[in-house]
Amino acid sequence: MATVNLTDKAADSLKVDAIVIGVARGDHGLVLPAGTGAVDSGLGGRLGEALAALGATGAAGEVTTLATLGGMPAPMIAATGLGPVPADGQYALDSVRQAAGAAARALAGRTTVASTLAMVAGRSTAELVGAVAEGSLLGAYEFTDFRSPSDEHRALPAAFTLVVSSAKDKASQQAIAEATAVAEAVTLARDLVNTPAGDLPPAELAARAQAAGRKVGLDVEVLDEKALAKAGFGGVLGVGGGSSRPPRLVRLHYKPSRPKTRVALVGKGITFDSGGISIKPADHMHEMKGDMAGAAAVIATVCAAAALELPVEVIATVPMAENLVSSTSYRPGDVLTQYGGKRVEVLNTDAEGRLVLADAIVRACEDEPSYLLDTATLTGAQRIALGTRTAGVMGSDDLRDRVAAAGRDVGEQAWAMPLPAELRAGLDSPVADLANVAGDRFGGMLVAGHYLSEFVADGVQWAHIDVAGPAYNVKEAWGYTPAGATGAPVRTLLAVLRDIGENG
């Protein structure tokens, strides 16, 4: 991962491969926000004129590059769009993050980059430093584990220097440390999700979770297929029964010295989802290596909670299985006994995520948490309802709304969704306690939420985050979001943990 540091030297004196500046769109054309003065001086006061001639508008997502032609030590300037000039003069922090990320992606082949984005004004320097650092680090991400070395590959920047008024400001230094910890967590989640399923069976995902947890001092427990059978994890075993690579369940425990409360995290870890006997269409099935994005997110989040020393106890329960077709696969019409004893009629083997999550939710509730957050690439209905960038959040009203607000604050779009009572009847089964899907397709995301709610213990505040769309970007990169794994909803989960630690 790239590095970030601070300097209070003038931008036009820095010997770097490129300098990033922010530009905005005003009512009458391009606007140069605060922080661009030194660069403008280095170009003889003609920065705005040069950018306008190149077609720069300041629109969000736009990056315009120009050569300095010896006007300063840096050979290139990258003007990244902040969008419209805000009426109150305060640029939204995610606008700054997105601009920093877009610039980082545009500077492939440049190793060292300086940025004046933390000087755009309107907010505290520490806030802006944190946003620029996070956006730059997230934007500079690339996954190269399976690429052969090539002289033609142009690596993304490896070092960012942020220009500020004081490089010794403790709040800004802390902001960089926190942004780095967050970016490391997102990077871990992205790397796990991007790894091909053939190289990441449940046992390997469990091993990587164990290694990541122990690196930051977590207590780690791994249950193999024998331990799962002995304890009665019927959902995990049923889903994973069709694969020669057996399931796992991992528990990661972070306990600070004086925790304010206890939070349970649960994430769906389907390392590959063929749909089972209710098999998926062949088109885009390769993307189902990302069906463990919920697991990757909670593994990364609990590790980051420890690295950041958040004042809340966090226990992550992560079920892992591969949903494949074989002579040992579970079948439509089978009845599984979930952990805790509830019996479920399986009507669709491609609704497997809720089966493994239900096991994990019951186990997580045995720890008597005050809050339980679960996340999964759970339903195609989420993408139909909210698109590919906005997560659906369901659960206890207060926590649901807090989670959705936290997601929007950090730039991981989220929307609170209801659990209409009439939809619950669709899960009634004539042969078991409930069915794993309803008889029709209406409200599929909400029906899945109802299913999970059946396994949450009384008195536990619960929220479910469906990231079927947001966790894996199948389109072009944008802002600080690459193609492929995005790392969502790691930053949302961390924001909620911070909120709980501060406000209970």
Catalytic positions, written as ranges:
280, 354
Largest alpha-carbon pair distance within the chain? 80
The answer to whether 338 touches 287, Cβ cutoff 8 Å, is no
- H or E segment at 83? strand 76-84
- Contact of 25 with 51, CB cutoff 8 Å: no
DSSP 112: E
Q: Identify which of 33, 79, 26, 86 has the alpha carbon closest to the alpha carbon of residue 53.
A: 79
Helix (H, G, I), strand (E, B) or coil at 389: coil
Helix axes 170-194, 293-307, angle to 10 degrees: 150
What type of residue sits at position 106? A
Cα separations (Å) of 465 from 138, 312, 402, 435, 501? 22, 20, 12, 21, 20
Q: How far is CA 204 from the centre of its chain?
A: 21
| Spatial CA neighbour of 136 closest among 100, 179, 88, 85 | 100
Residue 287: exposed, middle, or buried by beta-carbon count in 10 A (0-12, 13-18, 19+)?
A: middle
Exposed e or buried b per residue across 60-90, where buried means at least 16 C-beta atoms within 10 angstroms of its C-beta: bebbbbbebeebbebbbbbbbbbbbeeeeee
Instruction: For residues 241 and 225, give the distance between their C-alpha atoms in angstroms, rounded to a whole number.
Output: 10
Calpha distance 269→355 (Å, rounded): 11
Identify residue 437 by its one-letter amino acid code: V
Q: Rounded CA gap, 240 and 233, in Å?
A: 11
Give which of 134, 121, 105 is closest to 20, Cα–Cα.
105
- Residue 132 and residue 156: Cα distance in Å, rounded? 16
Check: CB of residue 467 under 8 Å from CB of residue 298. Answer: no
Which residues 6+ apart lie within 8 Å of 283 measured at CB? none
- In the chain, the N- to C-terminal Cα span, in Å, equals 33
